[in-house]
Amino acid sequence: ILPIVGRRIKIVADEYADPEKGSGAVKITPAHDFNDFEVGKRCGLEKINILDDHARINDEAPEEYRGLDRFEARKLLVAKMDELGLLEKIEDTVHMVPYGDRSNVVIEPYLTDQWFVNAEVLAKPATEAVEDGRIRFVPKNWENTYFEWMRNIQPWCISRQLWWGHRIPAWFGPDGEFFVEETEEEAIAAAKAHYGKDVELTQETDVLDTWFSSALWPYSTLGWPDKTPELDKYYPGDVLVTGFDIIFFWVARMIMMGMHFMDGKIPFKDIYIHALVRDENGQKMSKSKGNVIDPLEIIDEYGCDALRFTLTALAAQGRDIKLAASRVEGYRNFATKLWNAARFAEMNECKPVDGFDPANVKSTLGRWIVGKTVEASKSVGAGIEAYRFNEAASSAYQFVWGAFCDWYLELAKPVLMGDDEEAKAEIRAVTAWVLDQILLILHPVMPYITEELWDKISDNRSSMLMSASYPKYDEALIDRAAEAEVDLSIRLIGDIRGVRSEMNVPPGAEVPIYLVDATDAMKAAVSAQEAQVKRLARVAEIGFKGQGDVEAIAKGAIQTVVDGVTVFVSVADFIDVAAEKSRLEKEIQGKAKYIKGQEGKLSNENFVSRAPDHIVATEKAKLEEAKDTLAKLNEAYDRIAAM
């Protein structure tokens, strides 16, 4: 007998009860708990609802509790149990209590009449479409989440008690009989046929679940249910880009509904699951944490293209994005670099030439940048096709900033400022062509600046950049000999610059360099690029020596290795060796002291256990960076000590 109420209740055996918990018996309330509801279905228990729409006690309870708020009624019930001598003990227990996201009040399961769709019928073909590869998830592991839901699917509740939405097309007669029709006129006709006379109908006040309406999106936007040209042309789509959190709510339902209403045709072929954008510390953004980054503010500060490129560059498959304003600022600088490169081209009269054929370029530098352009376009295109957007962005960034801006434009300056008009004309044409290809490559990620430059660079465009095709080239445009020659000179210049920086050689000083036992091919390549190496690395002379000359050239020189060949950079005449040793000693001591402090902090259990994870990670990163710097300082000291 149920105390206070006096109702006789069943005692049943069910696997839901946990013998190890409490007495091993558990009270079941099928109308107010999801698990209890399932037990009630299995065991044939009565479903008694004791709450009204406002979570107050209804007439199913004894009169003294009717109309009370549920929390108030609970207190009185406990007191009554105690009064009747039925209360053995009171103890605290920890358990999960669901709260509403918006209302922040306790959610109470509550029996109501709702409309359902038999989702199991819809799920079978939708599951098979992914199983047989007609629909593909990227990354692939997300299909497991999809299968988990689809293979254990429950009836889909499609009714919602909201003010706004698509009203459910159902009408009720005076006795509660309902009529589901496309229009009210059809419902009236159906009711008349049922009752044999005209009756007054009342339409259902519930609206459709927003995911039901959203599931129609792939074809309802194209004129469905009418057979339109747009529907024939654009259904099915190619790629759906979405987040993992709505794979079941939206993606699965679009597939189910699309295949049901569109004669088994899938709504899209690929589903790209993008990353979750977190703050710079890896925390999920939320208003309560105060760490929400407003994209409009970022756009106002750095530009839309910079934000787009940042998100693309950080969009590695399977990883969330840690977004920081500093990263966006860095890619804003990239956009500025591109703009300045276009200005340089304009100032040097680099305009697109009608009929220009990159296959006819004669100069080594021109053939080199044409080949690099082809390789970059191919790499970026492959990244986009494979949904590896971060790799596509990285390839574009390295090519534009590195190969084109840092090296090609610098190497092209002597030609553009020289007197050879034929060479100058070719470099101008090549520069304009490469810049056009860069705009084509970058446009999917940076549409605004590229469209602006596309119009600015030439007065004879036949169409906007947005309607241009992605570039395709013949592999024969890649000249491996030109690539080897120019790449070697770039590596040589880079290493010499590194030595100069490390040894604090004055910027204006021109140093001699010597290559020992260089191959004939290397000698030819370096000789061909001698003027560029001397200009960009501030080199006085380039000598080729054998092993017998090493003792003579080693004194006062720093050694580096380029492509397996030892290069001696003579710096002793340009620096104060004693002062440089002293400076390095001080830096080494300071860095060693800092490392000791960091190691002490990170070995402190109180700090590691109490500090937020992102703070600990930052401190560890600082330690590793300091160790790396110390290693380089020690290497520089050893070099200068050996002079």
pLDDT digits (tens, 9 = 90+) for 164-214: 999 999 999 999 999 999 999 999 999 999 999 999 999 999 999 999 999
pLDDT of residue 317: 79
* Sign of the dihedral defined by the CA atoms of residues 47, 52, 57, 59, in that order: negative
**Cβ atoms of 433 and 358 closer than 8 Å:** yes
Least confident of 163-172, 446-455, 583-592: 583-592
Q: What are phi and psi of 636, to 5 degrees?
A: -65, -40
What is the predicted pLDDT for the residue at 639?
A: 75
CATH assignment of 116-168+204-274?
Answer: 3.40.50.620
pLDDT band at 292 (very low <50, low <70, confident <90, very high): confident
Long-range residue pairs from 104-113, CB within 8 A, at least 24 positions apart, any chain: 108/32, 108/51, 108/55, 108/70, 109/31, 109/32, 109/33, 109/34, 109/37, 110/31, 110/32, 110/49, 110/51, 110/55, 111/31, 111/32, 111/47, 111/49
Q: Can you tell me the distance from the alpha carbon of 583 to that of 54, in angstroms, rounded to the nearest whole number? A: 77
For β-strands 268-274 and 136-138, DSSP reports them as parallel
Query: Which sign, positive or negative, has the C-alpha torsion 46, 52, 56, 62?
Result: negative
Whether the per-residue pLDDT at 503 is higher than 80: the answer is: yes
612 confidence band (pLDDT: 50, 70, 90)? confident
DSSP 301: H
Q: Give the side-chain half-sphere CA count within 13 A for 75.
A: 4
Quote the percentage of the chain above a pLDDT of 90.
73
Q: For residues 530, 534, 540 and 544, what is the CA-based torsion angle, rounded to 10 degrees?
A: -30
Peptide bond into 139 cis (omega under 30): yes
Pairing of strands 159-160, 277-278: unpaired
* Alpha helix segments (H runs only) across 262-363: 295-302, 304-313, 325-347
Summarize pLDDT for 538-574 with one digit per residue, the tens.
Answer: 999 999 999 888 888 888 888 888 998 889 999 888 8
pTM for the structure as a whole? 0.76
Q: Please report which confidence band the pLDDT of residue 294 belongs to, taking 50, 70 and 90 as the band edges.
A: confident
Q: How many residues does the structure list for the chain?
A: 643
Q: CATH 1.10.730.10: which residues of the chain? A: 295-478
Check whether domain 1-112 has CATH 3.90.740.10, yes or no: yes
DSSP designation for 106: B
- How much is the pLDDT for 291? 82
How far apart CA 88 and CA 187 sit, in angstroms, is 59
**Whole-angstrom distance between the N-terminal and C-terminal Cα of the chain?**
99
What's the pLDDT band for 288 if we cut at 50, 70, 90?
confident
Question: 295-478 in CATH: which number?
Answer: 1.10.730.10
Half-sphere exposure of residue 468, counting CA atoms within 13 Å on the CB side?
22
**Nearest CA to 388 among 474, 325, 315, 310?**
315
Q: Which residue has the tokens 């596309």?
A: 454
Mean pLDDT within 427-441: 97
- Give the pLDDT of residue 232: 95
Which ranges in the chain are annotated with CATH 3.40.50.620? 116-168+204-274
User: What are the CB-based long-range contacts (under 8 Å, 24+) for 83-86?
Assistant: 84/3, 84/4, 86/3
CATH of 482-575, one of 1.20.1250, 3.90.550, 3.30.2420, 3.30.2320: 3.30.2320
d(CA 473, CA 377): 9
In the chain, ranges of CATH 1.10.287 domains: 578-641
Fold of 578-641: Helix Hairpins (1.10.287)
How far is 118 from 503, CA to CA, in rounded Å?
Answer: 76
Helices assigned H by DSSP within 465-548: 480-502, 520-528, 530-537
In whole angstroms, give the CA distance from residue 275 to residue 219.
26
Per-residue model confidence (pLDDT) at position 481: 96
What's the burial of 449, exposed, middle or buried (CB within 10 Å: 0-12/13-18/19+)? Answer: buried
Nearest to 402 by CA among 472, 326, 337: 337
| Contact call for residues 155 and 118 (beta carbons, < 8 A) | yes
Rounded-to-integer distance, Cα 319 and Cα 312, Å = 12
pLDDT(580) > 80: no
Report helix, strand or coil for 164.
coil
Mean pLDDT, residues 87-105: 87
CATH 3.90.740.10 range(s) for the chain read 1-112
Please, where in the chain does CATH 3.30.2320 lie? 482-575
Decide if 395 contacts 376 (C-beta within 8 A): yes
Q: Averaged over 55-77, what is the pLDDT?
A: 94
Nearest to 351 by CA among 429, 454, 450, 422: 429
- Residue 313: name the closest of 404, 388, 382, 401 by CA: 388
Which of 272-276, 286-290, 367-371, 594-598 has maximum average pLDDT? 367-371
The pLDDT assigned to 576 comes to 77
Per-residue pLDDT of 213-261, as tens digits, reads 999 999 999 999 999 999 999 999 999 999 888 999 999 999 999 999 9
